[in-house]
Structure 1
Amino acid sequence: MKLNTIIEQLEMLAPLSYAEDFDNVGLLTGNSEQEINGILVCHDVLENVLNEAIEKKCNLIVCFHPIIFSGLKKITGKTYVERVVIKAIKNDIAIYALHTALDNHQNGVNKIICNQLGLKNTKILIPKEKFIRKLVTYTILENHEELRNALFDAGAGNIGNYEDCSFNSKGIGTYLGNENSNPEIGERFEFVENEEIKLEVTFEKHLESKILKALFKTHCYEEVAFEIYELQNQHQNIGLGMIGELETELSELDFLQFVKDKMQCGSIRHSEFSHKNIKKVAVLGGSGSFAISQAKKMGADAFLTADLKYHQFYESENQLLLADIGHYESERYTKNYIVDFLIKKIPNFAIILSEQNTNPVKYF
């Protein structure tokens, strides 16, 4: 199977446009046209993971964390990153990273945590901004329904729990064609006034080329008039972190023990107890200190994340319990989710979960 076919499936799992601007996701090494014999899925690509891929005859590694995060000026093998890149290229092993593209997905990293903890009524903690665009175009009544349906089929018109959303209004359009024109209605050099329908639909920004392709293919006019706007609306189904509710509220101590068992934590660093029960829980896999204020704003009783610094624990301010469960621990089930997805999408293909524990943090 060619790599670009597998990439199409990975883009369904985690569209690269979902990723944060600082991130480095997608194909990191390899050629999208190369033939893939097997896929090894891991959390981090280290040398022992590459050796496992070679041993198991997998020439594609799908990882969560990108091994190349910032620019490499030299590749001499002096660092673990450089050694991994060299070995991957030498052995024709492609590496594809998901990271924040999967973090921001409504069924991604944070939903996995919520599912593991049994949280109900979940929603995005920090919805993504500047991700929704609006297409405005104009057509005649006879072309209106066909055009609108084509835009829906291309992915336009999805708003929250609703699809096929649009706004349609009637008006009068005018034009006058020159000697090179071929008007659908009227003749060259004729000033035409005709009833038209103004059609407006929203879409996610990564669908723009697909939306425009559907527009030009289905529109009946020789010259298609259209406008695209970037909206300020937040996308309620895409973004970082999630918040939900426990089935039954727990004391702070019982809650931490519950989390430790469910997330298999070596230990949990936490803020001072406020002696309030825990019901509403915010989560953000990986480094999530930037979301403390949002967790408080949304009324969370506890916020689970990782990589909290000393002074950030003070930010709980007796309003919620801050719990640092460990970076790896907060994301540990992600690779299993990726494997399950790929097995469903690419059956009868070698898809292997890495046996390597790549957590660099050890507990004494």
Structure 2
Amino acid sequence: MTVNEITTLLEELAPLGQAEDFDNVGLLVGNHTADVTGILVTLDTLENVVDEAIDTRCNLIVSFHPIIFSGLQKITGKNYVERVVLKAIRNNISIYSMHTALDNATNGVNAKICEVLGVQNPKILIPKKGMLKKLTTYVPIENAMVLKEALFASGAGHIGNYSHCSFGTEGTGSYRAKTGANPTKGEIGKTHHETELCINMVFSASDEGKILKALFENHPYEEVAYEVLTLDNTNATLGMGMIGSLEKPLMDIDFLHQVKEKMKAEGIRHSKLLHKKIKKVAVLGGSGAFAIGAARAAGADMFITSDIKYHQYYEAEDKLVIADIGHFETEQFTKNLLVDYLKEKLPNFAVRLSESKTNPINYL
């Protein structure tokens, strides 16, 4: 298999188009057409991870965090980023990063945290804006069903747990073909009237390319009349963080001990305990201080994340407990998620879970 074939599978789980604008995701090092001998999955791509890839004959590293985050002006090996890139290039190893594309995914980073902690029926905490669009097009009545099925197959009309969603209104369209045109119906120089169906479908912005491809390939007209609008509606299935419930409420101190054990945390920094039972739990892998207000507004009893600064603990406002369990700790199971996904998609392919230590933080 090629790098492109494998990354296409990964983008079914986490389309790159749903990553945050500041991020650097996708293929960072390598060639899309290169043949892959093995895949090594890691949280961070460091030199020891590249060495592990060499030793295990894996020439594609799938990494959660991007090793290249901002532009490289020189690659001389003067820092850890440049040394990783140089070593990967010298050994023909490709590096692919998913980061916030997987953060925003329905079955991504935060869903895995919920699974580990036993948080049930999780929903997106902060739905991502600008990820829903609407397609409007006009097609002769007799061609409508074929076009609709092609659009559905490409991802249009999928809303939450529903598919094949559309709305149509019948009307009369008109056009006059000019010299040089090749009209499907009507004659050059004469105004043609056609009974058409106006089709409206909502779709995820990350699917726009393949939906328009399906539209052009399956629409009977030479010139396709269509509109694509970005909606203000939020996509409830994509976004940062998740919130759900515990099957059995626990006192805050007892649940913190459980979190420490299940998330393998060396220590937990937290806001004031409220000495009440925890029922609703919000989680956000990585740096999640920006979501404290959202967790509080959603009625969370505890918010589990990392990288909370001193004054941000006050934002708990005695409404919830903020628990900072460590950046690595919140994201550590992400590589297990990716290994399981790839092994399911590629059952006969070499997919390895990296054993290299990449957590830069140590505890005394």
CA shift for structure 1 position 236:
0.6
CA shift for structure 1 position 191:
2.1
CA shift for structure 1 position 244:
0.2
What aligned pairs does 1:1-364 form with structure 2 within 5 A after superposition? 1-364=1-364
Moved more, 189-198 or 51-60: 189-198
CA shift for structure 1 position 81:
0.9
**Separation in 2 of the partners of 1:181 and 1:86?**
54
For residues 309-347 of structure 1, the C-alpha deviation after alignment (integer angstroms, 9 at most, x for no partner) is 000001101010000010000011111111111111112
CA shift for structure 1 position 180:
2.5
SS at the partner of 2:186?
Answer: coil
SS at the partner of 1:67?
Answer: coil
**Separation in 1 of the partners of 2:191 and 2:10?**
51
**Separation in 1 of the partners of 2:60 and 2:105?**
23
For residues 158-201 of structure 1, the C-alpha deviation after alignment (integer angstroms, 9 at most, x for no partner) is 11111100010011211222233333333222222332110011
SS at the partner of 2:135?
Answer: strand
Change (3 A) 1:316 1:222: same
Give every structure 1 segment of 4 or more consecutive aligned residues whose post-TM-superposition deviation is greater than 4 Å: none
Change (3 A) 1:142 1:274: same
**Separation in 1 of the partners of 2:179 and 2:79?**
66
**Separation in 1 of the partners of 2:18 and 2:183?**
41
Q: Taking every aligned residue pair, what percent have the same amino acid on both sides?
A: 57
* AA at the equivalent of 1:277: K
Aligned-pair RMSD on alpha carbons? 1.1
Conserved? CA contact 2:39–2:351, under 8 Å = yes
**Separation in 2 of the partners of 1:190 and 1:87?**
66
**Separation in 2 of the partners of 1:185 and 1:350?**
54
Q: TM-score, normalised by structure 1?
A: 0.98
For residues 10-49 of structure 1, the C-alpha deviation after alignment (integer angstroms, 9 at most, x for no partner) is 1112211111111111111111111211111111111111
SS at the partner of 1:295?
Answer: helix
**Separation in 2 of the partners of 1:359 and 1:101?**
21
**Separation in 1 of the partners of 2:177 and 2:98?**
50
**Separation in 1 of the partners of 2:155 and 2:309?**
42
**Separation in 2 of the partners of 1:266 and 1:27?**
33
**Separation in 2 of the partners of 1:181 and 1:70?**
48
Conserved? CA contact 2:173–2:193, under 8 Å = yes
SS at the partner of 2:188?
Answer: coil
CA shift for structure 1 position 72:
1.4
For residues 177-236 of structure 1, the C-alpha deviation after alignment (integer angstroms, 9 at most, x for no partner) is 223333333322222233211001111112222111111111111221111111111011
For residues 98-135 of structure 1, the C-alpha deviation after alignment (integer angstroms, 9 at most, x for no partner) is 11111110100000000111111210001111011111
CA shift for structure 1 position 279:
0.4
Q: What 5-or-longer segments of structure 2 have no aligned partner?
A: none
Conserved? CA contact 2:253–2:275, under 8 Å = no
**Separation in 1 of the partners of 2:48 and 2:125?**
36
**Separation in 1 of the partners of 2:106 and 2:33?**
30
* AA at the equivalent of 1:294: A
Moved more, 224-233 or 284-293: 224-233
Q: What 5-or-longer segments of structure 1 have no aligned partner?
A: none
**Separation in 2 of the partners of 1:100 and 1:8?**
17
**Separation in 2 of the partners of 1:186 and 1:319?**
68
**Separation in 1 of the partners of 2:126 and 2:318?**
22
**Separation in 2 of the partners of 1:192 and 1:82?**
63
